[in-house]
Structure 1
Amino acid sequence: MRTSVPSVVLGLCSYTHDSAAALLVDGELVGFVEEERLSQTKHTRDYPRNAVQWVLREADITAADVDIVAYNFRASRYLAAVPGVAGLLRSVHTRQRALPRIAGFTKVALRTARRTQALGELFPRARVRSVLHHRTHQMYAFAASGWDSAAVLVVDSLGETQTTTISTARQRAPGWPQVRTLRALRDPASLGYVYGAVTEHLGWRRGDEEGTVMALAALGDPARFRGLFARAVRLSPNGFSLDPALFPIRVLTSGYPRLSPRFITETCPARPAHAPVEQVHRDLAAALQERTDVVMLHLARRTRTLTGSPRLCVGGGVATNCVSIGRIIDAGIFEEVFVPPAPGDAGTAIGAAAVTHLDAGGWLLSGIAGACYLGPSFPAPEIDLTPWPGLSAHTPEDPVEHLAEQLAEGRIVGLFQGRVEAGPRALGNRSILASPLNNGVIERLNATVKFRESFRPFAPMVLADHAADYFTLGQSAPFMSMASGVTDLARAHIPAVIHANGTARLQTVTKDQNPFVHAVLEAFKRRTGVPVLINTSLNVKGKPICGTPRMALDCLASSGLDALLLEGRWVTK
């Protein structure tokens, strides 16, 4: 074991989207939280002031005690796009954007350098270290798995110039992960770029509502646009490439559309956000998802060939596509697949801190493997309901049994307990729970609780020991990141959790992972015979998951929730 001690490392994701902060003290992860859970601004790109203040308080230190600030982008690496300008100028499809593209990447490089310098001014004793973006994804995905060795596949929209990396990873010693990149694809070959562009074209917010398009895909026929996407996203021995005649090359400046007039002519006009969803939109979403699955399977096979590893960790924004992850598992390419709880950019705050800590010769890492409940907790909040005059509260004698009884009787209940989850999924600490046995529960959840599209599905949480009775995934899924097939028992008893494509994005729950939720599932099973509950995030459409009691009470008061169990207090209206 190494004996040098760099001690306090603050990891930051900031100024792009999904701002977050993570803190390592002597290699131990003290805490991690996304800024949106405290600021109430979804996907905020602001400096994560609230998140930083919380992690420092959690460690009982100040900004002056931080030794290293680890940032999740490296400014100079944006300039790697510059040498490619000559090739772009030679092609009729890329010529017009070539110089604006290089200007945009150069501008972002300079802006990132200024932001990195500004971070140093906030922490007077700290050194600032910039970490290659994909390296932060790789490190977090592998460290969170807790495995001795694995392959790592990172797929996102853009990290400096990288969009896809294949790596091999191993533990040099327990808590000492090492990751080595074997292959990298660079922009403009970007699967995240494609998915975001079509999401925006279909009338949803790019970088936020790709999951809505993934859900819509189950209602469409991919055959209608299959040929188009096969031309647009072409497979190659080393990965894939994009046809710039359909997906114009990226320019990091507003005013440059991500879809070409030819793509629009061959598909449909852009759908306004509140316009009806037509069959052509369903079919376009279906073809997009199908091609995403094809590319992800191709990349997974390439990863297995290059690394020889029987285990795969997946990170990056595209790793949140649970359908594609489920396809990789079903294909049997790997014996086991792992997606960390925060695979998108927020999680790179942890990855940046871990990389920097180890590079500086720090103590072995701890507190990352298998951890998802990493944010603030409010164990005994004072509940002043004055701002919500319609609410009232009492303390049930046995919160577990009371909650299970209310759910069995058909009520939809918010659950706020313990530390805030990391990542985009509520995993039982900031959740909305409902019985999957009630007729019309999905319609009610979408229409009156979440205020979202009627075709959106809801995920099941299941006792891990009973998962195989209802789901065919064949492995654990603690972070609700994988779509699974279902059994005849599930079709017969819990059809509410099955999406139109015959899958469900499940969360397997063990007693060690979440004792309270495990006890609720057991109590619900005793009453109904079914160890499954519907679990969705404690928020409404357009709002972040509720990170504080005030946010949770606002959610109860402004939505169709029947009640909220807030740290053992039963709040109703």
Structure 2
Amino acid sequence: MKRMPSVVLGLCSFTHDSSAALLVDGELIGFVEEERLSAEKHTKLYPARAIEWLLGQAKLTAADVDAVAYNFQPAHYLAESPAALRLALSPATRDRALARARGFAKVALRTQLRLRVIGRQFPAARVVPVLHHRAHQLTAFAASGWDEAAVLVVDSLGERQTTTIAHGHTAIRPVTQPLEAINDPASLGYVYGAVTEHLGWRRGDEEGTVMALAALGDPARFRHLFAEAVRTTSTGFHINPAYFPTRTLTSGYERTSRRFIAETCPERHPSEPLAEVHQDLAAALQERTDQVMVHLARRAHVLTGSPRLCVGGGVATNCVSIGKIIEAGVFDEVFVPPAPGDAGTAIGAALAVHVDVRSPRPLVGAARTCYLGPSYEDQALDLTPWPGLHQKTLGIEIAEFLADQLAHGTIVGLFQGAVEAGPRALGNRSILASPLEPGVVERLNATVKFREPFRPFAPMVLAERADEFFTLGQQAPYMSMASGVTDTTREQVPAIVHANGTSRLQTVTRSQNPFMHAVLTAFGRRTGVPVLINTSLNVKGKPICGTPEMALDCLASSGLDALLLEGRWITK
């Protein structure tokens, strides 16, 4: 009989977006991404700060950890090597077959070595490698809080898998039953990353910029190309290597072909101005991504018969595609967890160990929550390193004060409570602004965030009044869904409407975030519009500010007017 771990540490480490999660007796103690504490965006370093905070929260040491769950299984990488050699039989893939076989074998060995490194940190623990897509599935399904749902995971690569469909159900603990899988080289995430890089942005970081650019282009120009490059099948899709050569996991191999370049445009350098061809390429890529995602969602419905869908994996951060799935009406409700990307698999990996030992303890603390990281509510604040900043302590009507400042056009950084999980600021590490202020989008992009002028800003809205402004028809608590807007929105708050007529909204309930609910209520009372612009507390190239020091740096180095940091009003 297996020994039942009562302390399980889940890790995402050594690849990108390092993070850690801790389960103690089935309760999720916390989760945090290392970048929020180290200030290094998308860091792949061992999440030492995250682990230290988690163990401190539980009053434990490394010696108390019974199991460490890692979010990749080396053996599944190794299994791809002989399969890769079969690509030598086709002229279209022959030139990369050997490099691919070597690349997957090398990553398998590297992953095995990483498991040993982790094991040395926790001498009393067993180290458990967890299949990557299983970790994604459990993260998404457990966060939904549902008893049953279809689970669709779409990313770039997890060992061999790129797309999986499972059926989630809960008795005492969440379980996902795998039903169907698509293996690399059929990868939607790979294609999106390849085009992101081709257009001059960082793959694995700035796909959202391409998604925003797509709204400005005409997809018809390259529609036929993407229909040829990403072909749907009865059970999924496959990628045409004539446009996107087979992945090798080895540096020095291009992700787009000469034919792709000849039929689209040369690779754009980041310093080059954007042209119409770049907009059209982004638009066609996004349109095809939407089509394939809806196709996969329909397949998930056929396989499970479920009225509800959970979506995870890196491609689940594409809010436009998630919005298209909802619009298609295949499911009654669609859910995306707050951390659908690789960072969130630290939670799923820990859950996998909890499930596999058949713990009698029910899972607690993972459903419908996003504020899982460190808070600094009682920390003293020394502004000596920031001589240009001044602070005053506010009274008890902080929400009313903030709403008044916002109504008068002040752009405010907000730092309160626990750090959010995932890539979106959800009211605890946010920059807030009035969408009614003339020129607010241009000002935010140019002087606060320092990013491209075509980038839109997302709104947050009182959940009970969302239908007045948005057509989504369901809750969107984690800012992961693009919604159509109503005539009221176009007339009263056009600043939050992107060029494609949508907004990536966050619906806020009193139970989810009492403070932000109070601020929105107060702002609505003053202006008639219970809607605010909400973007993450950071500037381009930096992670969301997880610590007071990071937030103060952000205030000092950007065009923010003020920072509300745990009840203290800080200005320049």
What is the TM-score with the length of structure 2 in the denominator? 0.99
Q: Deviations over 1:27-58 (max 9, x none)?
A: 00001000000000000011111111110111
Measured in 2, the distance between the counterparts of 1:44 and 1:269 equals 30
Deviation per residue, 1:389-433 (Å, 9 max, x gap) = 111000122211111110000010000000000000000000000
Report if the CA contact (8 A) 1:471-1:487 is conserved. Answer: yes
Structure 1 unmatched ranges of 5 or more: none
Partner SS, residue 256 of structure 1: coil
Matched residues in 2 for 1:501 and 1:380: separation? 44
Counterpart for residue 104 of structure 2: 105
Cα deviation 1:221-265 (Å, max 9, x = unaligned): 000000000000000011000001110000101100000011011
For 2:370, give the aligned amino acid. C
Q: Aligned partners of 2:201, 2:421: CA distance in 1, in Å?
A: 24
Post-superposition shift, 1:86? 4.2
Corresponding residue number in structure 1 for 2:115: 116
**Equivalences for residues 27-426 of structure 1 within 5 A:** 27-173=26-172, 176-362=173-359, 363-397=361-395, 398-426=397-425
Give the corresponding residue for 1:451: 450
Checking the alignment, whether the CA contact within 8 Å between 1:4 and 1:361 is kept in structure 2 is: no
Q: Deviations over 1:93-148 (max 9, x none)?
A: 11010000000000000000010111111001000000000000001100000001
CA distance in 2: counterparts of 1:294 and 1:80, whole angstroms: 31
Cα distance change of structure 1 residues 3 and 267 upon mapping to structure 2, 3 Å threshold: closer
Residues 433 and 534, structure 1, Cα contact 8 Å, conserved in 2: yes
Residue 21 (structure 1) shift: 0.2
Equivalent position SS for 2:79 = helix
Alpha-carbon distance in structure 1 between the residues aligned to 2:384 and 2:176:
52
Residue 480 of structure 2 corresponds to which residue in structure 1? 481
Question: Whole-Å Cα distance in 2 between the matches of residues 483 and 121 of structure 1?
Answer: 44
Native 8 Å contact 1:322 1:481 kept in 2: yes
3-state DSSP of counterpart to 1:69 = strand
Shift of 1:83: 2.8
Comparing 363-372 and 501-510, the one that deviates more: 363-372
CA distance in 2, matches of 1:111, 1:515: 45
**Alpha-carbon distance between aligned partners in 2 of 1:440 and 1:522, rounded to the nearest angstrom:** 24
Return the letter of the residue paired with 1:476.
Q
TM-score, normalised to structure 1's length?
Answer: 0.99
The CA deviation string for residues 337-380 of structure 1, in whole angstroms up to 9 with x for no partner, is 00000000000000000011121222221100001000000012
Aligned partners of 1:160, 1:86: CA distance in 2, in Å? 17
Matched-pair contact (CA < 8 Å) for 1:381–1:549: no
Q: How does 1:417-436 map to 2 (within 5 A)?
A: 417-436=416-435
* 1:161-191 Cα deviation digits (max 9, x unpaired): 0000011111123xx1111110000000000
Question: RMSD in angstroms over aligned alpha carbons?
Answer: 1.1
| Post-superposition offset of 1:528 | 0.5
Indicate whether 1:544 and 2:539 are aligned: no
* Contact 1:358-1:364 within 8 A present in 2 as well: no
* Structure 1 residue ranges, 4+ long, deviating more than 6 angstroms after superposition: none
Question: 1:4 Cα shift?
Answer: 7.7
- Aligned partner of 2:464 in structure 1 is 465
Where do 5+ consecutive residues of structure 2 fail to align? Answer: none
Rounded Cα–Cα distance in structure 2 between residues aligned with 1:217 and 1:381: 43
1:381 is displaced (CA, Å) by 2.2
